[in-house]
Amino acid sequence: MSSWSAPVASGPVVATVDLPGSKSITNRALILAALADGPSTLSGTLRSRDTDLMLSGLATLGVDVAPAPGDPTTVHITPGPLHGGRVDCGLAGTVMRFLPPAAALASGTVEFDGDEQARSRPLSTILDALRSLGVQVDGDALPFTVIGGGAAAGGEVTIDASGSSQFVSGLLLSAARYDQGISISHVGKPVPSTPHVDMSVQMVRTAGVVVDTSVADTWRVLPGPISAVDWQIEPDLSNAAAFLAAAAVTGGTVTVPRWPAVTTQPGATFVDVLHEMGCRTELVDGSLTVYGTERPAGVALDLHDIGELTPTIAALCALADGESVLSGIAHLRGHETDRLAALSTEITALGGHCTETADGLRIVPATLHDGTWHSYADHRMATAGALIGLVTPGVAVDDIETTAKTLPDFPAMWSGLVGVS
C-alpha cells in the first residue's frame, strides 16, 4: 500500500471518460454462463480484481474460462462438470455470496476463504439458506466449506435479506439448476438495493428461466435448463458516479459514452441525485453529459436502493452549500468496511462535520483542509477521497490500489481529468 496524492483541479474539469464494464452484470453473467446448457461469450467483461476472482473461482470448479487472444474483455465460457476446489473470494461480496449456491452443485468439497477484512462480512444468511435446502455447509463466515453432492434438492426457503440484496441474488442465479428450483421468501426490514435484485431477475429470465415475482418479497424460480447467452456487458454506471461528481464539484463538464437508455443498474439513478444538487444533464446519442453548478446544493436523500453510491454522495455533500441528511443506509455498516463510521471519521478528520444517525449520515459543510484520507481497503472510500482531493489541496489517499477491485486504471483515469500524466 502507498499514499497517493490526489490531483487538484485548477479549474472546471472538462473530460470524456470511457468506462469499462459493469461488475454487477459481469459477475451475474459469469454464474449464469457457468451453469448454462452450452458455451457463452461475454463481451465488454470488466477485468478487475472482483471479476478476476470470480473467473478464477469458476475455473477452479471445472468451468472452462478462455479470454479471447488480445482482448481480455471478451471471455468464452464453456460449462463442465463441477468439482471441488479452493476459492479465493478476496473482498468480493458477489463471489462469497453468488458462488456458494453454485458450489452446492459440484461433486466434491469447495473451500472458501478471502482477505482478512472479508472474514467479518455477514454470510450466515446465505449459508443457512443453503443448509435449509439440504446442502452441507461447515462454517458461518469466511473461511467456510460447501460439501457438494453433484446436485441439490432445492425447495422453499425463508431468509432475512435486510443485510444485503446479494443474499437473494445469490440464490436466484443458481436456483433453476436445483432439482425443485427454489422459492425464496424474505421476512424482515425491506431488502436494500432492490434494483440489484431486479437486475438478477431480468438476467435469469433472459437466460430462459421462469421466475415468478407476483407475490411481494417472494421469488419463485422453476427448475429447468439455463440457456447459453452471449452477454453484452454495459459500462459500470456506479463507477461512473465519481467521475460525474467531478463535474459537480468543479463546475465542469464530464461526458460518459455508451450510457444505456434503459438499464437495471442502480448507478443510473445517480443522475437524479445530481439534479437534486443543482447540476444539469443531457443524454445525446448514447453519451451522458453532466454540467456542474457553482457549488452543489445540500440534499435530504433516502439512499436505501443505491447504498453503494453513498461514499461518492457523502463526499459531494461535504463540499456542498448547505446541510445534507442521507438515510436508509444502516446496512452499509456490513459492507467492505463500516462505511458510515468510515465516512464520518474521514470527513471530520479533514475539517468537515459528519455524524452518524441510526440509519445514515448528517453532513454540515465546512472548509476542508489537507490530510490523509483512509480507504479502509474499500474501493468506494478511496474514490470518495479522490473526489474531495480534487478541490482540496494536500489530500492524500492511502491504499489507492484498492480501487482495482472494480476499476484497475482508476489513478491514471482520475489524473487524466486534470491533465496529469
Query: Does 295 show up as a binding residue in the annotation?
Result: no
Determine how many CB atoms are found less than 10 A away from the CB of residue 40: 23
308 annotated to a ligand binding site: yes
Radius of gyration of the chain (CA): 21
Q: Which residues on adjacent β-strands are paired with residue 211? A: 221
Q: Is 165 annotated as a binding residue?
A: yes
Burial 159-168 (b: 16+ CB within 10 A, else e): bebbbbbbbb
In whole angstroms, what is the distance from residue 235 CA to residue 321 CA?
A: 31
What is the spatial distance between Cα 370 and Cα 195, in angstroms, rounded to a whole number?
37
Q: Report the candidate in 118, 168, 165 with the shortest Cα–Cα distance to residue 304.
A: 165
405 is in an annotated binding site: yes
Q: Tell whether the torsion through CA atoms of 387, 283, 308 and 22 is positive or negative.
A: negative
User: Is 2 annotated for ligand binding?
Assistant: no
Q: Is 144 in contact with 96 (CB distance < 8 Å)?
A: no
Strand partners, 86: 111
Residue 108 three-state SS: strand
Query: DSSP label at 60?
Result: H
H runs (alpha helix) in 47-165:
49-60, 93-103, 124-132
Strands (E), 98-213: 107-113, 136-138, 144-149, 155-159, 182-186, 211-212
Grid-cell match 437534486, residue found: 276
For the chain, counts of helices (H) and of strands (E): 12, 23
Q: Is 336 a catalytic residue?
A: no
Tell me the C-alpha to C-alpha distance, in Å, between residue 414 and each of 5, 13, 182, 243, 331: 11, 11, 43, 8, 29
Catalytic-labelled residue, pool 234, 308, 336, 346: 308
Contact 344, 356 (CB under 8 A): yes
H or E element that contains 231: strand 231-232
189 annotated ligand binder: no
Q: How far is CA 120 from the centre of its chain?
A: 18
Contact 189, 167 (CB under 8 A): no
28 is in an annotated binding site: yes
* Residues making up the binding site: 23-24, 28, 93, 121, 164-166, 193, 308, 335, 339, 380, 405
* Residues making up the binding site for 3-phosphoshikimate: 23-24, 28, 164-166, 193, 308, 335
* Residues making up the binding site for phosphoenolpyruvate: 23, 93, 121, 166, 339, 380, 405
Which residues have a catalytic role annotated? 308
